[in-house]
Structure 1
Amino acid sequence: MTEPHNELGESNTANEPMAGAKAEPTAPDYQHSRSKSNATTDKATMKKAIIALVIFIVLGVIIYGLYKSAQQPQSLTLQGQMQMQQTSIAAKVPGRLAQILVTEGDRVEVGQQLIEMDSPEINAKINQAQAGKQAAQSQLDKAESGARPQEIAQAKAAWQANKAASDLAKSTYERIDRLYKEGLMSRQKRDEAYTQYLANSDKTEAARLQYDLATEGARSEDIAAARAQVAQVDAKLEEARVAQKEANLKSPISGIVDDVIVNAGEVIGQGVPILTLVNPDDQWVVLNVTENHLGQFAIGQQFTGTIPALSSTEAPFTKDFTVYATSTLSDFATWRPTNNDDGFDVRTFEIKARPIDPDDRIRSGMSVLVQIDPTLTTSAAE
């Protein structure tokens, strides 16, 4: 027999089951594709659910945080700066620095010598003033002591000699005058005797005055002039000595040497700063506070500040301060609203407060952090 053929002439025996054999059922291909698609859909749905859950949790945390922030507002931190009383020490006289007796960080007391200056000009002025004082004092001593005993005795002898001559001339004139009246002496002789008598009388008076002058001493005007001369020279000597003290400059205050500006051996002029001193007992903090928080810094009010420079992780360094001064800053520190709905202008004030208990460890320029309550504001700034 011949096998059946299809239209193409191919035998169908390969596709037909063998006679007597049972055909096995097979799953169609579309059933496998459907199972794979269902599994992918389940995974995507689960992934979306997880993402939605995460987003829901994050939103819940954010909403809770915002709610807690609204219920309990955070404090506001202000940053201030410590300052100290600083004094610049300058030379009042020019000269060359021979030695600087202090270094930065040293504590000095009032009257302690800071520098030693080499100034030959000042020494020369002192010597000149001392010599002038000796000369003026000698003139004063002479005026106050008057003439020496020998000079007084000499003046007295001259007066007595002239007095004797005057007495003799008087007696001679009286005799000649009697003889003239009796007609025994000419008028010429009488006039000559009279002239001699007057001359001797004048000499006697001059000698007496000289003797009185020697006895009384110098006039009060001369003594006053001599004393004034001594006082003038004393003033010049004192001026030179003061210049010498100023050259060896001493500290006018008690404090700590903050900065030494010059070096030994340099020539400095009058008024040139040499070093600066700070007074650790006179310290204060400066804060800039807007007027809406100014009520928390009234004069006399106390607050607590933290100094990071002296703090540690375990123990922050805090100080209690008392407000003692408040002043407004310039217009550049004023916040101005852009429209009327933004509120009013807010000015900035400078607050100064002193520590209740000053600390030597605090230095000028250290930061001070102050926590304030932001809810305590004035109605004008709201």
Structure 2
Amino acid sequence: MANSHNDADDVNTLDPVHDNKPSDNAEELEKTTAPYPHKKSADKAANIKKAVFALVLLIVLAVIAYGLYKSSQSSAPESITLQGQMQMKQTSIAAKVPGRIAQILVTEGDKVETGQQLIEMDSPEINAKVNQARAGLDAAQSQLDKAENGARPQEIAQAKAAWQANKAASDLAANTYERVNRLYQEGLMARQKRDEAYAKYLATQDQTEAARLQYDLALEGARSEDKSAANAQVAQVEAKLEEALVAKEEANLKSPIAGVVDNVIVSNGEVIGQGVPILTLVNTDDQWVVLNVTEDHLNRFAIGQQFTGTIPALSASNRSYTKTFTVYASSSLSDFATWRPTNNDDGFDVRTFEIKARPNTADARIRSGMSVLVDVDPQTTTAANPSQNSNPSQN
């Protein structure tokens, strides 16, 4: 019996069919049985880790790209905006003569033309000088007329009568002397009588000659020198009268230019002195803008160059008001406007220049003091930095 049991075991051990049967059943059981739940959870966690890693990687790349973008922006030159100011030619109107303001004929903002009356003044002193000069002119003219016209006919006749009377007396004295002289020669007359007759004869001759000369002067009139002096006196008094009339005209102030009344300083009834400003005028056709530009941007504003500026005061919300300007003057400002570096790496001292430019076409709406904004592109300017042009071998 023992042998039979062992034989049976050997048969079971050596039977391949019997040995493989449990394995086949296990494979069939694994195929027909669903996966376990813990395997699905592991796959899901792996997928989440992959998604998080990809998201972190994207965030890192975005941060790097943003940093590179900001770095490029910071290294790129930024546009510079300069602020200037509009100016106009301003004329102050002052009084040449003292007086009282009688009437102001214009107000601020009025447009005036050349020669238009602005102020009317009341000056009694000027009126008195005018009257005095006119009276002096009348007197001088009378003296000139007298010199030009000579003596009156009555004066000529009177001078002639005096000459003839003296001539008759002289003739009588001459005859008397001849008779007395003959009697003296015959010894009938004393020598004293003859000398007296002779002296009277000489006296009457002198009187006759003087009367004749007076008559000749009456006929001839005044001398040329007297006429010239009378003419000069008339011219002098005429000049004084003209001066007084000019002063009276200046009291009624007129505009020397065409422009706009900017400011009226005085009021009616005020007494003003000579040379005191009364009002100011601006010439709207004479406009320019003033800019302060450092010399590293100066080549953008060379004389004759043009640039565009924006005037905010005349700009609308949807449209900017721009003007084209042409540079006509450039001058350096004082040392207080010089920018100095804080260390050697900052470069050199940069001076500031005052730029003046006129608009190509004037605009009557522009007023003095309006701001002008000018954008300067640094790429169009050349920064004069000596360190950039230095020899590398010396660095």
Q: CA RMSD in A?
A: 2.5
Between the two proteins, the alignment pairs up a number of residues equal to 341
Q: Does 1:244 align with 2:253?
A: no
Change (3 A) 1:203 1:296: same
Instruction: State the alpha-carbon separation in 2 of the partners of residues 133 and 175 from structure 1.
Output: 61
Cα distance change of structure 1 residues 268 and 56 upon mapping to structure 2, 3 Å threshold: farther
Find 1:66's aligned residue among 44, 65, 71.
71
Counterpart CA distance in 2 for 1:257 and 1:204 is: 79
Distance 1:241 1:54 in 2: 93
Aligned to 1:322: 326
Is 1:225 aligned to residue 236 of structure 2? Answer: no
Matched residues in 2 for 1:212 and 1:350: separation? 82
Task: Give the distance between the partners of 1:114 and 1:68, measured in 2 at CA.
Answer: 60
Deviation of 1:207 after TM superposition, in Å, equals: 0.6
1:45 is displaced (CA, Å) by 12
**Residues 1:367 and 2:371 aligned together:** yes
Q: CA contact under 8 A between 1:152 and 1:215: conserved in structure 2?
A: yes
**1:165 alignment partner in structure 2:** 169
Q: Which moved more, 1:273-282 or 1:213-222?
A: 213-222
**What is the CA-CA distance between 1:68 and the residue it aligns to?**
5.1
Write the distance in 1 (CA, Å) between the matches of 2:317 and 2:195.
127
1:269 maps to: 273
Q: CA deviation at 1:291?
A: 0.6
Residues 62, 245 of structure 1: CA spacing in aligned structure 2 closer, same or farther, 3 A cutoff? farther
Answer whether contact 1:122 1:240 (CA < 8 A) is retained.
yes
**1:46 Cα offset (Å):** 8.9
Structure 2 SS opposite 1:296: helix
User: Which residue of structure 2 aligns with residue 36 of structure 1?
Assistant: none
Q: CA deviation at 1:65?
A: 4.1
**Where does 1:197-208 land on structure 2 (aligned, <5 Å)?**
197-208=201-212
- The 2-side partners of 1:43 and 1:236 are apart by 113
Q: Paired residue for 1:256?
A: 260
| In 1: Cα distance, 2:62 partner to 2:156 partner | 127
Contact 1:162/1:204, CA 8 A, preserved across alignment? yes
Whole-angstrom distance in 1 between the partners of 2:371 and 2:64 = 39
Q: CA deviation at 1:53?
A: 5.5
Q: Deviations over 1:10-47 (max 9, x none)?
A: xxxxxxxxxxxxxxxxxxxxxxxxxxxxxxxx999999
What is the correspondence of 1:169-180 to structure 2 with a 5 Å cutoff?
169-180=173-184
1:124 aligns with 2:114: no
Residues 73 and 339 of structure 1: is their aligned pair in 2 closer, same or farther, counting only changes over 3 Å? Answer: closer
Question: Deviation per CA, 1:38-95, whole angstroms, max 9, x where unpaired?
Answer: xxxx99999999788657535533432433564x643221111111001111111111
8 A Cα contact 1:295 1:378, kept in partner = no
Partners of 2:82 and 2:216 in 1: how far apart? Answer: 91
Identity of aligned residues (%): 75
Q: Report the 3-state secondary structure (helix = DSSP H, G, I; strand = E; otherwise coil) of the residue aligned with 2:362.
A: coil
Question: In 2, distance between residues paired with 1:55 and 1:244?
Answer: 90
When normalised by structure 2's length, the TM-score is: 0.80
**Does 252-261 or 262-271 show the bigger shift?**
262-271
Distance in 2 between residues matched to 1:153 and 1:186, nearest whole Å: 41
SS in 1 for 2:92: strand
SS in 2 for 1:379: coil
Q: How does 1:1-382 map to 2 (within 5 A)?
A: 57-67=62-72, 70=75, 73-375=77-379, 376-380=381-385
Label 1:45 to 1:93 Cα distance change in 2 as closer, same or farther (>3 A).
farther
Letter of the structure 2 residue corresponding to residue 199 of structure 1: A
Tell me the alpha carbon deviations over residues 314-336 of structure 1, each in whole angstroms, 9 at most, x when there is no partner.
22111111111110011111111
Does structure 2 retain, via aligned residues, the 8 Å contact 1:77–1:371? Answer: yes
Structure-2 change in CA distance of 1:244 and 1:51 (3 Å): farther
Distance in 2 between residues matched to 1:350 and 1:122, nearest whole Å: 47
Q: Indicate conservation of the 8 Å contact 1:126/1:240, yes or no.
A: yes
Does the 8 A contact of 1:101 with 1:114 survive in 2?
yes
Rate the CA distance shift 1:91–1:298 in 2: closer, same or farther, 3 A. same
Quick one: which amino acid aligns to residue 140 of structure 1?
Answer: L
Instruction: Write out per-residue CA displacement over residues 234-291 of structure 1, whole angstroms, 9 at most, x where no aligned residue.
Output: 2222221111111100111111111111111222121111111011111111111111
Give 3-state SS (helix, strand or coil) of 2:326's partner: strand
Whole-Å separation in 2 of the counterparts to 1:344 and 1:268: 54
Q: Which residue of 1 aligns with 2:15?
A: none
Greater fraction helix = 2
| Distance of 2:334 and 2:73 partners within structure 1 | 38
2:374 alignment partner, SS class: strand
Normalised by the length of structure 1, the TM-score is 0.82
Q: Distance in 2 between matches of 1:112 and 1:293?
A: 46
For residue 314 of structure 1, give the secondary structure of its aligned residue in structure 2: coil
* Inter-CA distance 298–66: structure 2 relative to 1 (3 Å threshold): same
Which structure 1 residue ranges, 5 or more long, are not aligned?
A: 1-41
**Cα distance in structure 2, aligned partners of 1:280 and 1:62:** 53
Q: For 1:173 and 1:202, how far apart are their aligned partners in 2?
A: 16
Alignment partner of 1:191: what SS?
helix
Q: Residue type matched to 2:346 in 1?
A: D
